[in-house]
Structure 1
């Protein structure tokens, strides 16, 4: 079974196409919101309110979303979230139509969008098992990270062009269209082609306490939170490094993000090439990620930083592909939703707190120092997994 074996499943191919499209659309919305809020207020603090409004619902609702995904078919949840996300995105488009949009209306709608995302992100991870079954699960989860990386490679550039040519409202409508397309792809998946999971009530009750008591799963969840706090937030870190440390312009910022995303595609494909992925697979993935962070931190000039940017993306793709595959492989099929809800809290719920820490580090020193800290933390996490995770 090759790296791209999951695409032999028609259902997975449709799901992947919808994920790429909706993630590209999300870049249109995020970039336009950043520019609108900054243009209206001129305040970075006001912009941080958008981040808090978007990610706070994920912290609050991810666990209930996981329970729901283990009781209702994830495809049904995603069909509903696709429509709801499109409606909210269209409403945001109406709010930002004027020259002086109401900031509180933006915050409220972004919070509504984050609420939908809390259910959408957990259900999309839970659905992968039903799309490909247990034998192709690890490869399919790793390959699914490529959808996000692919969107990140083209999304910012296209979003910038759309914003300057057509305005913020059009960007929001394009995001709405992306979610509707994802919904159509889900609708095209035949229900009878899905692999059944045992209902949540059929097995022993799997609570948060039981997950934490499992040494492998607890190790993975700890690493997930620590890396999210100290080694991610690349939207902030890479932009600040190019702008503040190297004096680059907007073109250089976009180029760095694009090169980073191209590398992430390669990292996700490498993760998918592994015959089996467990928690101890994180040792290699974290080591690669840590070394990549340190290499980028050591870049003396902008040219060198651009040259090694794909290496950092490769490390990110490898780490995220292995992390998500190891998480899903560690849970019984009937509990994937609940475990992935905890992983989602670590990945996205820690974003505001990580941004505050990274912003303080960058203001006190530089973006290169924040990359170095991330590299040291990643290597330390690799050692932590080697010591703590069981070998079986």
Structure 2
């Protein structure tokens, strides 16, 4: 992958053959998934008219992503991503085959529908961070944001086609045939992934293991304040906006007197609106920043829910959902782009999984909550409550600004190899690292402010403890310390430090007196004799 940063066309990633093939394959696969989902969402209304049951199907689809996205992100960072994706496609195909057979034999029930939707959600949980993490492998660095936007566009092309086709197939041929079409779509994805000759990852003695990688990912997420802002904004938006997705089948059936075909048309309108939104989004980005775009998405989504609550004419509902699609893709690409822009490659899959966990956790909790509210009150009142909440939250959190993502996250590789008297076992630890500075008393306040910024970098890159001390006999001798869990993890720290982090370290170093660099010591734990 090249390191050119010149601006390019929004469709430039499609010039990369591998990206283009996989992009088309994901459109086919996601189209099948939307066909499956519209069949399940409508079928549950035939099996049970209770709003809570309908909402539980939506929750069953998103709950696994909430529970498993972080472990899936760890796996995406330590396994061969191509092979992992193929296994996931086989799992999804198996779930759809079961849905097809149960529907064909008349044995489908609410319980089996929810259970198999949950299995499908497991597949989606495992797949989502992996698909997103492979983007930097497929395109040049300057095309990553465009590739992310194209992925969102592809999903919404599927959203515009899949639900409409699914509704028609369900109305004309029944649920079993509809699920069968979804099974076929996975074949196309598996063929494309098999065709992709991903570059082999060389053996590395510092390769991470699952639990160590899991802890490292959580440490990064805990220490990254920029990621915290993205997660907060996502949680607030999707918690309120989930109401429209949880209740849309009942809106179509009860408020608009529609059938399965009309429900598919409504979902297709969302996808078509998203495509239109994706096409105009580059122009909007030249005029509005990310915070303004997210606020606009919240206001439009709230307005759509308010319109649906009054049971408009069917054509009015279709127009409203076109607007919903444009708002939805604006929110998704804005938040996802902000997350991608602040993540280094070594932890990209895990951190995107944290983002997906928050996103789907908000969708799951919101779906269950709004389903319960609709059961207690009614659908129109519930939609109005969520609309008011979303608009108010959008205005309030507009002042919590999203990160710009302008830091250079390429590895700097400027740390020298640590000096050792003998070879150190990689699993030995914990390791205490000391950095000794000589700082004038007059410059100490500014030095400590700079050092506080550096503490976040240490924690993001692997430290689980950090502190600063002074020498009682020489107050100008200040020692920064941090701890990592093993020698191998400290060596990984050497690889993880970015050019942006190097700039922060240089800012700290300028306070150090003397021609010599600060003294660095590595202290290894000694097992006490029994």
TM-score (normalised: structure 2): 0.65
Q: Work out which of the residue numbers 170, 177, 189 in structure 2 matches 1:182.
A: 189
SS in structure 1 at match of 2:242: coil
Q: Work out which of the residue numbers 281, 284, 289 in structure 1 matches 2:292.
A: 284
Q: Is 1:321 paired with 2:333?
A: yes
Q: Is 1:10 paired with 2:56?
A: no
Q: Structure 1 pair 108/257, CA: closer, same or farther in 2 (3 Å)?
A: closer
Q: Structure 1 pair 281/331, CA: closer, same or farther in 2 (3 Å)?
A: farther
Q: Work out which of the residue numbers 91, 112, 119 in structure 2 matches 1:112.
A: 119
How far off is 1:180 after superposition?
A: 1.6
Residues 242 and 252, structure 1, Cα contact 8 Å, conserved in 2: yes
What is the distance in 2 between the residues matched to 1:91 and 1:163? 17
- 1:252-271 residue pairs with structure 2 within 5 A? 253-271=263-281
Q: Structure 1 pair 390/105, CA: closer, same or farther in 2 (3 Å)?
A: closer
Question: Which has the larger Rg?
Answer: 2
What is the distance in 1 between the residues matched to 2:168 and 2:262? 15
C-alpha offsets along residues 2-27 of structure 1, whole Å, 9 cap, x if unaligned? 11011011111111111111111112
Q: Work out which of the residue numbers 98, 103, 117 in structure 1 matches 2:105.
A: 98
2:157 maps to which residue?
150
- 1:199-218 residue pairs with structure 2 within 5 A? 201=208, 206-218=216-228
- 1:1-392 residue pairs with structure 2 within 5 A? 1-192=8-199, 201=208, 206-239=216-249, 247=256, 249-250=258-259, 253-271=263-281, 281-296=289-304, 299=307, 301-302=312-313, 304-360=316-372, 362=374, 363-364=377-378, 365-385=381-401
What is the distance in 2 between the residues matched to 1:272 and 1:282? 12
Residues 149 and 264, structure 1, Cα contact 8 Å, conserved in 2: yes
Residues 29 and 186, structure 2, Cα contact 8 Å, conserved in 1: yes
What is the distance in 2 between the residues matched to 1:309 and 1:9? 33
How far off is 1:134 after superposition?
A: 2.2
SS in structure 1 at match of 2:104: coil
C-alpha offsets along residues 267-297 of structure 1, whole Å, 9 cap, x if unaligned? 3344467899xxx953022122023134435
Residues 260 and 309, structure 1, Cα contact 8 Å, conserved in 2: yes
Task: Choose between structure 1 and 2 for higher RCO, CA contacts under 8 A separated by at least 6 residues.
Answer: 1
How far off is 1:137 after superposition?
A: 0.8
How far off is 1:125 after superposition?
A: 1.1
**Count of residues in correspondence between the two structures:** 383
SS in structure 2 at match of 1:191: coil
CA RMSD between the two structures: 3.2
Residues 296 and 368, structure 1, Cα contact 8 Å, conserved in 2: no
Q: Structure 1 pair 350/336, CA: closer, same or farther in 2 (3 Å)?
A: same
What is the distance in 2 between the residues matched to 1:239 and 1:87? 26
C-alpha offsets along residues 146-178 of structure 1, whole Å, 9 cap, x if unaligned? 112111112122111111222211111211111
How far off is 1:330 after superposition?
A: 0.9
Higher helix share: 1
What is the distance in 1 between the residues matched to 2:271 and 2:81? 28
How far off is 1:145 after superposition?
A: 0.6
How far off is 1:264 after superposition?
A: 1.2
TM-score (normalised: structure 1): 0.86
What is the distance in 2 between the residues matched to 1:44 and 1:115? 23
What is the distance in 1 between the residues matched to 2:284 and 2:216? 29
Q: Structure 1 pair 7/32, CA: closer, same or farther in 2 (3 Å)?
A: same
2:491 maps to which residue?
none
Q: Which moved more, 1:99-108 or 1:10-19?
A: 99-108
Q: Structure 1, unaligned stretches of length 5 or more? A: none
Higher strand share: 2
What is the distance in 2 between the residues matched to 1:308 and 1:40? 28
How far off is 1:243 after superposition?
A: 5.7
Q: Structure 2, unaligned stretches of length 5 or more? A: 1-7, 408-530
Q: Structure 1 pair 348/90, CA: closer, same or farther in 2 (3 Å)?
A: same
How far off is 1:64 after superposition?
A: 0.8
